Amino acid sequence: MTITAPFGAWDSPLSARLLTEAGVGLGGASMIGDRLYWAENRPTEAGRTALVRRDPDGSTHDVTPIGFNARTRIHEYGGGAVGIDGDEVVAASFQDQRVYRLDGSEPVPITPVPDIPAGARYADFSFHGDLVICIRELHRVDGEPVNEIVVFPFDGSSPPVPILGGHDFFSNPRVSPGGSQLAWLAWDHPRMPWDGTELFVADLGSDGSVSNVQLVAGHATESIFQPEWSTDGLLHFVSDRTGWWNLYRREPDGTDTALYEEDVEFGHPQWVFGMRRYAFLPDGRIAAVYQEDGWFRLGVIDGEGMQTVDLNRTDLAPSISIGAGKVWLVGGGPALPDAVFGVDVDTGSVEIVKQGLSVDFDPALYSVPETITFPTTDDAVAHAFYYPPNNPDFEAPVSDLPPLVVMSHGGPTSATTAGFRLEKQYWTTRGFGVVDVNYRGSTGYGRTYRNALGGRWGIVDTDDCIAAANFLVKRGDVDANRLAIRGGSAGGYTTLCALTFHDVFAVGASYFGVADCSALAEHTHKFESRYLDGLIGPYPAAESLYRERSPVYHTDQLSTPMLILQGLDDEVVPPDQAEQMVAALKDKGIPHAYIAFEGEGHGFRIAANQITALESELSFYAWAFGFVPAGDVPPVEIVQ
């Protein structure tokens, strides 16, 4: 029997608690020899990241002991916290940021105690005999941290020694087969790695020393991604020199051969370390994950071109590995939760090793997204995924239209995907429509689209979120009077801009969003300290423009209720930004709620906090839209 109830008030089996306890986040699949490794982010274990190994007999084991969090804080976003070479495993510990050797007993530290607590941070490990080569970010009492490529013995018998420096940032140190050469990427302020990077190669000594450094590719307006050596010693890399991140091979004569030069993206915004989008098959072919029109696909490149492998998983993480006759990946699809899986690229057969979702979820509840492209300002178009409300147990009253939640992704140089996410289904099963927007500036649509946000952050991203909502209103999908917008980090900034400078949305939720662009430019961490030069303008020369774009300085225009959520340990967007907005809302008497979380940084990892945040958001929307949420949802405390 179908129950008639207002959109938004439908009862859903997806509670906020279930979302946090329903499984783990998966990442970093690596087949090393005959052992498969992957990472699991576990919200119920205080958000720690564990390294898991599957042995040839099919048994699985945690490589990291209970309490060990394999996570680096380098660049504040981390990534590449684990290195594996044969049976040898090293990992950075989130607690003190030192590197530890993991050999089945108690972890053994192999880097020294830094002068500043957690002040020496490591990532992106490669191996050279008995040596470890990696990136180190060394924090100092005064001045910016120093980023270098360092080398140290695997047994920790001597401290790390810098072998390469002189640039603001480094990544991807990769040792050639035989160990005679080292390749790496470097870039400098004010560039971000998706703006322009340089690929270098040098001779590598047995002691880890380098000589004869040569620039291979890249410059200020060419972004290089993932240098990798093939088994026959040829250097490969991804470049966007044509306007799209395509794959190239450096020939012995110094020329570059495009292996597949089309309007697709093999690269990825390098927010974190350790990403891989292609790998070499034993027969010389290349297996590669690429993005086309917002969807991820797996292709196999040979001398004749590229053949796409028929997968029903279209959201693939930047993690690929080869071994045991399969390509190993992490990903899912619109109706398939994330999994660690292997695929035979010739037969298409798939082996599922680990499911991220550990509870049964009725597929009839899935809201499968529609890809939409819609008109926006400047006679341009933007892209999004629209998820209609869906719950077979409920229907809405005749002529009722659903409320809409507009999602604005972080970055902003990033992208949303159409992968299965319980958080989206949390809304759609309650009778909300959800539109997840890839506004101009998002990746996956070529360099021109990625650069369209340049100098106009807070304007075109906001315009595109508004245009997505208006498109769905005009089409008759959603209620024009019940529009909400939400986002975290840069998406939180877009949310605050939409609620401050426009009157389209009835309510919004900002997760650790930027409220004061000047404060972000002055106080954020090194990696992003010049990011806004390209998004807004050089600071402080463009200070007036920063003030013009900052919602906190235009609170006289505020009239929309909002929920603000903030981690008190956030080093990217410090808590004072949220507190300034809260003070302005209070002064104006605008209904609002503010929830600050101890022990959380830029993104909430602890299960209890994730539950509180999501339930508070539902409660806030229910208050704003005038319905009573189904289930036991605690009311959020609203200041009016």
Interacting residues of 434 by C-beta distance below 8 A, sequence separation 6+: 367, 386, 387, 404, 405, 407, 424, 427, 428
- Reading the block at residue 521, the tokens are 């430019």
pLDDT at 303: 86
The number of residues in the chain equals: 640
Positions of E strands within 234-335: 235-239, 246-250, 256-260, 278-280, 286-292, 295-302, 305-309, 315-323, 326-333
Tens digits of residue pLDDT in 184-239: 999 999 999 999 999 999 999 999 999 999 999 999 999 999 999 999 999 999 99
Phi, then psi, of 545 in degrees rounded to 5: -70, -40
pLDDT at 573: 87
Q: Which of 40, 42, 51 is nearest to 21 (CA)?
A: 42
**CA-based Rg of the chain, rounded to a whole angstrom?**
24
pLDDT at 46: 86
Positions of E strands within 57-207: 60-62, 82-85, 88-92, 99-102, 108-109, 120-128, 131-138, 146-153, 161-164, 169-175, 181-187, 198-204
pLDDT at 380: 98
Residue recorded with tokens 């810098």? 162
pLDDT at 605: 84
pLDDT at 373: 98
Q: What is the H or E stretch that residue 65 is in?
A: none
> How far are the Cα atoms of 308, 363, 471 from residue 370, in angstroms, in the given order?
22, 17, 13
| Other beta carbons less than 10 A from residue 61's beta carbon | 11
**Rounded CA separation 140/254 (Å):** 40
> How far are the Cα atoms of 289, 346, 624 from residue 300, in angstroms, in the given order?
9, 9, 50
**Rounded CA separation 554/487 (Å):** 20
**Rounded CA separation 510/402 (Å):** 22
Q: What is the H or E stretch that residue 438 is in?
A: strand 433-438
pLDDT at 6: 95
**Rounded CA separation 534/190 (Å):** 8
DSSP 79: B
Interacting residues of 583 by C-beta distance below 8 A, sequence separation 6+: none
pLDDT at 312: 87
Position 428, amino acid: T
Our separate counts of H helices and E strands in the chain read 10, 38
pLDDT at 179: 97
pLDDT at 226: 98
Spell out, as residue ranges, where the chain has pLDDT lower than 70.
Answer: none
**Rounded CA separation 505/495 (Å):** 10
Beta strand pairing status for 483-488 and 404-408? parallel
Domain 3-16+362-625, second-level architecture:
3-Layer(aba) Sandwich (3.40)
Q: What is the H or E stretch that residue 2 is in?
A: none
Tell me if 210 sits within 8 A of 182, measured CB to CB.
yes
